[in-house]
Amino acid sequence: MEINGRTRTCGLIGNPVEHTLSPVIHNTLAERFGHNLVYVPFPVEAGRIGEAVAGASALQILGLNVTVPYKGEVIPCLREVDSLAASIGAVNTLVPVQGGFKGYNTDMEGLYRAMMTEGIRIAEEEIILLGAGGASRAVAYLCAVKGANRVFLLNRTLEKAQNVADEVNRAAKRQVIFPMALADFGSLPDRKFLAIQGTSVGLAPHVDDVVIDDKRFYKKVHTGFDLIYSPWETRFMKLVKENGGHAYNGLKMLLYQGIIAYELWNGVKVSEGDADAVYEKLKEHFV
C-alpha cells in the first residue's frame, strides 16, 4: 500500500501495546477493501489517557482501539458512550463524533460471534465462568443478556464474585449469575457445563499455570472457551480435552472484536470470506 496525503490512521492505545496482533487484522482488511488507511500501536503512559484521546481527536484519527489498563479509565474522556459499553463499564473502541469520540465495547459481541462460528450457544446454557475481573464481568453480562440459564461465577475471592453477580443480576433484572468460591467447585451441580476461562492465568510465558488443576472439575465441562490466545493451546484447554471436552482459544474473539471496530470506523460490512482470510493471517503467528 502507498502511504500518501490521503492516508487515514487508526490505532491501539494501551500500555503495553508492543505484543498486539491488531495491526494484522486492520491492515489486512484495509488491503482487501482497498481502503487508504494504516493501523499502528500507540503506547500511552500512565496518567496520560486524557491527553492521548484529545490529541487523537485533534489529529483527526479515524478510529482507536483501547486495551489494558485504560478500558475503564478512558470513559470520562469521551463525548458519548454506547449503552452496552456503559452497562459493562468498559470501552475498547473509539469512533469519532463532533468534538471527540464515542466509546463502544466490541469485545463482547466479538466473543459472541466467535462462539457462534464454533457452534457454541449461550442461550439456555448452564455456564461456569472462571474469574471476576474486568473481562469476566463483561462475559457475565454477555451471558445474562444472551439468555444463559445459569452462570456459576467462580473466583478465588467470593466477595468479588458476589459484587459482580449483584451488579449483573441488577442490570439483567433476573437472578442468572451465582457466585462461588473457587475452592467450592466440587459443589457444582452434577451435569455438563460450558466453561469460560476469563482470567489471565496461563497467558504466555506462564503457560503451565491454570486456575483449577483437578480433573474432577474438567469432567463437568463439555466445552471450554479460553479468552487467552497465546499460547495457542492453554493448559486449561488441554485439561478440557484430556477429560473428553472440546476446547477453543480466544483468537477468534480477537478477530471479531477487531472486525466490528473496522466496520464502525469505515461504514462497511466484513464478509465471512474476508474474516476467514484475516483469521488465517493471525494463525500464522501461532501454527
**pLDDT recorded at residue 134:** 85
Quote the CA–CA distance of 94 and 172 in Å, as a whole number: 25
Residues paired with residue 95 on neighbouring β-strands, in sequence order: 102
Fold for domain 109-249?
Answer: Rossmann fold (3.40.50)
> Mean pLDDT across the stretch 92-118?
97
Q: Where are the alpha helices (DSSP H) in the chain?
A: 22-33, 49-58, 83-88, 107-117, 134-145, 158-172, 215-218, 235-242, 251-266, 272-283
**pLDDT recorded at residue 2:** 87
Give the model confidence (pLDDT) of 197-206 as tens digits: 999 999 989 9
Q: Where are the alpha helices (DSSP H) in 34-96?
A: 49-58, 83-88
Q: Could you give the residue numbers annotated as active site?
A: 71
Model confidence at 287: pLDDT above 80: no
Q: In the chain, what percentage of residues exceed pLDDT 90? A: 95
Residues 65 and 48 sit within 8 Å (Cβ to Cβ) = no
Confidence band of 123 (pLDDT split at 50, 70, 90): very high
**pLDDT recorded at residue 1:** 74
Give the model confidence (pLDDT) of 169-190 as tens digits: 999 999 999 999 999 999 999 9
**pLDDT recorded at residue 116:** 96
Quote the CA–CA distance of 140 and 107 in Å, as a whole number: 13
> Angle CA(192)–CA(171)–CA(72) in degrees, nearest 5?
95
**pLDDT recorded at residue 204:** 87
Model confidence at 168: pLDDT above 90: yes
Is 8-105+253-283's fold the same as 109-249's?
A: yes
**pLDDT recorded at residue 184:** 96
For 189, other C-beta atoms within 10 Å of its C-beta total: 10
Q: What are the residue ranges spanned by the domains of the chain?
A: 8-105+253-283, 109-249
Place of cell 475503564: 72
Backbone angles phi, psi at 211, to 5 degrees: -65, -45
Give the model confidence (pLDDT) of 209-262 as tens digits: 999 999 999 999 999 999 999 999 999 999 999 999 999 999 999 999 999 999
Quote the CA–CA distance of 36 and 240 in Å, as a whole number: 43
Model confidence at 119: pLDDT above 80: yes
Give the model confidence (pLDDT) of 7-57 as tens digits: 999 999 999 999 999 999 999 999 999 999 999 999 999 999 999 999 999
Give CATH superfamily name and number for 8-105+253-283: Leucine Dehydrogenase, chain A, domain 1 (3.40.50.10860)
Model confidence at 102: pLDDT above 80: yes
**pLDDT recorded at residue 194:** 98
**pLDDT recorded at residue 32:** 97
Cα–Cα nearest to 194, from 221, 176, 174, 215: 221
Cα–Cα nearest to 28, from 227, 253, 255: 255
Model confidence at 159: pLDDT above 90: yes
Helix axes 107-117, 251-266, angle to 10 degrees: 120
Backbone angles phi, psi at 13, to 5 degrees: -115, 135
Residues 153 and 140 sit within 8 Å (Cβ to Cβ) = yes
177-181, strands of its sheet edge to edge: 177-181, 150-155, 126-130, 193-197, 221-226, 246-248
Give the model confidence (pLDDT) of 51-77 as tens digits: 999 999 999 999 999 999 999 999 999
Full-model pTM: 0.95
